[in-house]
């Protein structure tokens, strides 16, 4: 037989696109349209329905950026259409290639009842099936004219990312507002041909199945009268029956399709728009569930569920019913799909506490899985947090975006820093916006790396990012792919059902130890410094507020602010979403975030102040309150008393310029350029700074990544660097015992104060930058005279080691990494820590000098200046605090990291304040002291072993204790853990390295 394959395939493409698909709606009549453009922010539904409207026609431009327009569409069903299926086709000016990224709408009935959402791939509203002739149609569309931020030329700077700069030019052209007859036979024919054509294209050319499909498609096309598609569609479908009925082979890969709409809680739209995106999507999905009995939809992020409950009660009622039916499934058990690299220990724990508790309180549902398809890598401390929250699975997809190394597994057990292992799955379909296309299904099969050991994978199915969810077309595809020769089989299943099957068939998968590092989006550790500092400060203020409020409640009857703390925690957790905290959202989002963090700080400082005053009482005794988990200046952790005297620091001028600071523990030499050329550990008689390589060196790089400006820094940024060594001023600081350095570069200015606190073995560097650069990267370097092949960086509830060398491509790819409060480098008998109060990105490199010594350089990432999606990223004044700690053990690094983030608070009072709880081992770090969330008055204490070693410690309560229980993060007793013994308020514990423990102490 002659090879006419390409001829038939080309025929299919043209006939399907030009003749069959347009015949889905063979008859239509225009609707009458009128519009009201709401001034300012979105208005309540009742106001939008009642507004005075003006007539408008198709072809009219509408929609200022971020505006809301209420369209009223009215019409009458023609009598001749009686008994047929009729839909309204409402095209607001959609580009079908941008679902979720442009204008959207929510359709309401005249009484305000939401019907469904409109987006580029979902433009229809069912009127009747069958419909009555003469039926009156009246619908109201709340249309959001969200501008396209990332268009066909992506990463182009635009002022559209903030309402304050976006202007008022209309963004869209009203395209189609019709009543139309839906020919369901033609609609099904379209799906038949799409599924078969896409499957055929993925099969080997020499496969008999490909040719069977080709001939069946050819016969179907022969049966279509191109002048009467609607009259011949049924006959064409009959020619495809046999090839659609051929079953899959027994060894076929099995795909669990989970209806999904990965909705970014903020990204190229503000938080307030996400509230509406979620409502539109939830309305669509509940409607689709009613029409499709096999379909299952999963939605993560308890915050988004809470938004529906608060803002769209009618949609919420439909959602609750679908949850009860088991088909609209809460997923993930977190408050939002957060970043997991930068959130601190307690914040990461509270993501699960608040997320799981919401689903338990509202539905009695507890999730076993963490659902994080789009998060930019995963910290090594996360597995034990997942387990401590009562979960046991993790799903993500983003690691498939890595640019250097291909991750070797799709299903595996992930081992964290304490040894906890979590069953983990990466969908091999490599997208969280799967549409069940033939190319996607075939890619999942080819890509699956666990063949032979397993054959199950998951496919999150539906339009996401900006929302929309699963479409009826996707459901129709799934029905044809349920058992189809040549394809993987597809079945709708919940995440829980998938994980149960996957673990059962592969109970001992490979193990991956340590962080799941994304070899992409490394700049998210630095972009939008204000947002990152707001997060760090909020985390520590929450610790202080809980600690002092709990202490005051137990000691004085102070009213514990349960509701305020709950609300503030949820706000902080929301802003840890993986496009807010990483700095990859539009300007509007970060402008609001900075204002939100300022309000939170005011409120939490108010709680702290009120609680401390209640504890201190009236008096003139000067008290220092220490919220850190270690004693300092003679003040116990979690207590208050007068501080002990700490000696003094001297400053001398150096011959030829510069200064020397000396506090008896360190001697620091600052040269005439304001650079630190010596930090001498007097006790160890050891120099910290590498010879010929001064510290406190600011370095400026060009920084234009190939893509993803706010997200990425590419390795070639290191090829060019400017050392900022010219100083405008190097002078004594205002206190006479510090050094002030001023520099200018480009359009920016920097002021640094170098100080050596009395009695403390640390050089503090306070840096203020008035930043006005574009596409630049600012680093602060400390070259150390230290030989280390690995270094420790703090992560949740412990620390994690990374190599300083680049032996393999895996190590070379980690040229920018995350730490929390410290990085630490160690020779066997001497180490150095660099601690910070609000930065995360850093790099560590090593070189061998001509003298044979090793220089290991720690560089802190301070600021970037990408122009997309926020063209004014980080412009303005920023303040950073870092400290160099010579002679530091890892325990010193832990302590100093807490110290720099929790400064002392001073006030006068009547007497000392004893800690509510104490621990007798520095290696056991208390991360939270609070009252139980249930209002019982029980005291909850969370702690972990922080040095990476075994520990035996005694926790002593400073109040009468009637009983103690070990609990999970949700403060529920652990069924398999006996209650610890308590004797006169003392609880003795043995902890494994990095073990996380939560105790609940019942007050006598």
Question: Could you list the active site residues?
Answer: 374
> In 548-571, which positions are buried (b, 16+ CB within 10 angstroms) versus exposed (e)?
bbbbbbbbeebebbeeebeebbbb
Length of the chain equals 1004
Sole residue written with tokens 């007793």 = 973
C-beta neighbour count of 653 within 10 angstroms: 11
Largest CA distance in the chain: 103
As given in the structure block, the two tokens for residue 776 are 């630049």
CA 713/CA 704 separation, integer angstroms: 7
Rounded to the nearest 5 percent, the helix, strand and coil shares of the chain are: 30, 30, 40
Sole residue written with tokens 């394809």 = 487
User: How open is the CA angle 61-62-65, to the nearest 5 degrees?
Assistant: 125
> In 230-261, which positions are buried (b, 16+ CB within 10 angstroms) versus exposed (e)?
bebbeebbebbeebbeeebeeebbbbbbbbbb
Nearest to 713 by CA among 844, 813, 847, 588: 813
DSSP letter at 552?
H
Helix (H) or strand (E) holding 571: helix 562-574
Helix (H) or strand (E) holding 160: none
User: Strands of 986-991's sheet, edge to edge?
Assistant: 917-919, 951-957, 986-991, 982-983
295 vs 39, 259, 291, 527, 654, CA distance in Å?
A: 39, 7, 9, 40, 77
Question: CB-hemisphere CA count at 13 Å for 204?
Answer: 4
User: How open is the CA angle 737-742-748, to the nearest 5 degrees?
Assistant: 150
Decide: residue 365, CB within 10 A, 0-12 exposed, 13-18 middle, 19+ buried: middle
Nearest to 876 by CA among 483, 462, 587: 587
C-beta neighbour count of 7 within 10 angstroms: 11
Nearby residues of 119 by Cβ (< 8 Å), 6 or more positions away: 94, 99, 100, 104, 105, 280, 463, 467, 468
Q: Are 42 and 68 in contact (CB under 8 A)?
A: yes
Question: CB-hemisphere CA count at 13 Å for 639?
Answer: 22
Q: Are strands 104-108 and 114-118 parallel, antiparallel or unpaired?
A: antiparallel
Helix (H) or strand (E) holding 898: helix 890-901
Specify which residues 825 forms β-bridges with.
791, 832
């Amino acid at each position: 037989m002659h090879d006419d394959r390409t001829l038939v395939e080309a025929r299919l493409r043209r006939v399907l696109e030009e003749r069959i698909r347009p015949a889905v709606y063979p008859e239509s009549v225009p609707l009458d349209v009128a519009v009201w453009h709401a001034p300012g922010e979105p208005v309540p539904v009742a106001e939008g329905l009642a507004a005075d409207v003006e007539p408008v026609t198709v072809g009219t431009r509408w929609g200022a950026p971020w505006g809301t327009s209420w369209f009223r569409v009215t019409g009458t069903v023609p009598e001749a259409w009686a008994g047929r299926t009729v839909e309204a086709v409402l095209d607001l000016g959609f580009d079908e290639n941008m679902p979720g990224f442009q204008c959207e709408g929510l359709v309401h009935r005249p009484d305000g009842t939401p019907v469904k959402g409109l987006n580029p791939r979902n433009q229809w509203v069912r009127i009747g099936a069958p419909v009555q002739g003469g039926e009156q149609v009246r619908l109201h569309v709340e249309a959001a004219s969200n501008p396209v931020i990332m268009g066909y030329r992506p990463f182009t700077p635009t002022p559209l990312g903030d309402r304050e700069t976006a202007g008022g030019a209309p963004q869209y052209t009203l395209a189609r507002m019709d009543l139309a007859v839906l020919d369901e036979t033609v609609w099904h024919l379209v799906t038949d041909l799409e599924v078969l054509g896409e499957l055929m294209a993925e099969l080997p050319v020499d496969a008999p199945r490909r040719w069977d499909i080709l001939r069946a498609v050819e016969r179907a096309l022969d049966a279509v009268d191109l002048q009467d598609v609607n009259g011949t569609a049924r006959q064409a479908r009959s020619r495809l029956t046999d090839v659609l009925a051929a079953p899959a082979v027994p060894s076929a890969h099995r795909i669990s399709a989970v209806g999904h709409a990965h909705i970014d809680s903020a990204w190229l739209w503000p938080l307030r728009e996400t509230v509406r995106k979620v409502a539109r999507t939830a309305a669509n999905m509940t409607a689709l569930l009613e029409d499709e009995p096999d379909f299952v939809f999963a939605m993560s992020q308890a915050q988004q569920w809470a938004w529906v409950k608060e803002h769209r009660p009618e949609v919420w009622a439909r959602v609750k019913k679908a949850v009860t039916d088991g088909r609209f499934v809460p997923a993930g058990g977190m408050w939002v799909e957060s970043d997991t690299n930068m959130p601190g220990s307690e914040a990461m724990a509270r993501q699960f506490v608040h997320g799981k508790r919401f689903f338990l309180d509202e539905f009695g549902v507890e999730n076993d899985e963490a659902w994080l398809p789009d998060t930019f890598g995963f910290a090594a401390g996360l597995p034990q947090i997942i387990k401590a929250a009562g979960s046991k699975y993790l799903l993500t997809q983003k690691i498939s975006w890595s640019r250097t190394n291909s991750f070797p597994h799709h299903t595996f057990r992930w081992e964290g820093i304490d040894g906890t292992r979590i069953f983990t799955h990466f969908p091999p379909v490599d997208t969280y916006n799967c549409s069940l296309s033939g190319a996607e299904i075939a890619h999942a099969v080819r890509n699956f790396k666990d063949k032979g050991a397993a054959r199950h994978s998951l496919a999150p199915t539906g339009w996401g990012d900006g929302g929309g969810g699963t479409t009826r077309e996707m459901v129709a595809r799934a029905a044809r792919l349920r058992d189809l020769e040549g394809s993987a089989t597809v079945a709708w299943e919940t995440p829980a059902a998938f994980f149960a099957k996957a673990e059962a068939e592969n109970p001992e998968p490979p193990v991956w130890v340590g962080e799941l590092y994304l070899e992409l989006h490394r700049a998210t550790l630095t972009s939008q410094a204000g947002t990152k500092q707001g997060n760090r400060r909020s985390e520590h203020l929450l610790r202080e507020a809980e600690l002092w409020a709990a202490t005051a409640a137990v000691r004085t009857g102070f009213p514990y602010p349960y509701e305020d703390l709950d609300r503030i925690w949820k706000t902080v957790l929301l802003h840890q979403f993986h496009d807010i905290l990483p700095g990859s959202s539009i300007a509007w989002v970060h402008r609001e975030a900075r204002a939100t963090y300022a309000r939170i700080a005011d409120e939490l400082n108010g709680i702290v102040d009120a609680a401390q005053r209640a504890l201190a009482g009236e008096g003139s005794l000067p008290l220092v309150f220490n919220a850190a988990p270690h004693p300092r200046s003679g003040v116990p952790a979690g207590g208050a008393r007068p501080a002990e005297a700490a000696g003094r620091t001297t400053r001398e001028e150096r011959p030829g310029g510069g200064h020397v600071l000396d506090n008896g523990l360190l001697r620091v030499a600052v040269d005439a350029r304001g650079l630190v050329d010596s930090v001498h550990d007097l006790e160890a008689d050891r120099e910290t700074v590498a010879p010929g390589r001064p510290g406190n060196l600011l370095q400026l790089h060009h920084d234009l990544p190939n893509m993803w400006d706010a997200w990425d820094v590419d390795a070639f940024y290191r090829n060019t660097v400017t050392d900022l060594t010219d100083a405008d001023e190097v002078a004594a600081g205002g206190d006479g015992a510090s050094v002030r350095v001023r520099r200018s570069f480009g359009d920016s200015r920097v002021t640094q104060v170098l100080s050596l606190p009395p009695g403390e073995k640390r050089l503090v560097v306070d840096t203020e930058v008035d930043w006005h650069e574009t596409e630049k990267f600012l680093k602060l370097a400390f070259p150390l005279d230290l030989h280390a092949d690995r270094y420790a960086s703090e992560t949740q509830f412990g620390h994690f080691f990374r190599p300083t060398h680049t032996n393999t491509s895996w190590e070379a790819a980690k040229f920018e990494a995350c730490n929390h409060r410290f990085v630490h480098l160690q020779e066997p008998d001497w180490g150095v820590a660099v601690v910070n109060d609000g930065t995360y990105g850093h790099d560590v490199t090593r070189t061998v000098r001509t003298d044979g010594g090793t220089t290991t350089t720690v560089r802190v990432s301070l600021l970037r200046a990408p122009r997309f999606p926020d063209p004014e990223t980080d412009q303005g004044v920023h303040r950073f605090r870092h400290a160099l700690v010579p002679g530091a053990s890892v325990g010193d690094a832990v302590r100093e990291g807490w110290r720099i983030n929790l400064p002392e608070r001073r006030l006068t009072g009547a007497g000392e304040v004893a800690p509510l709880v104490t621990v007798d081992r520095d290696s056991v770090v208390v991360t939270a002291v609070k009252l139980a969330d249930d209002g019982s008055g029980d005291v909850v204490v969370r702690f972990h072993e922080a040095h990476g070693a075994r520990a035996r410690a005694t926790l002593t309560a400073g109040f009468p204790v009637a009983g103690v229980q070990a609990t999970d993060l949700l403060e529920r007793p652990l069924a398999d853990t006996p209650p610890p013994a308590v004797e006169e308020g003392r609880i003795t514990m043995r902890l494994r390295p990095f073990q996380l423990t939560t105790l609940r102490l019942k007050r006598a």
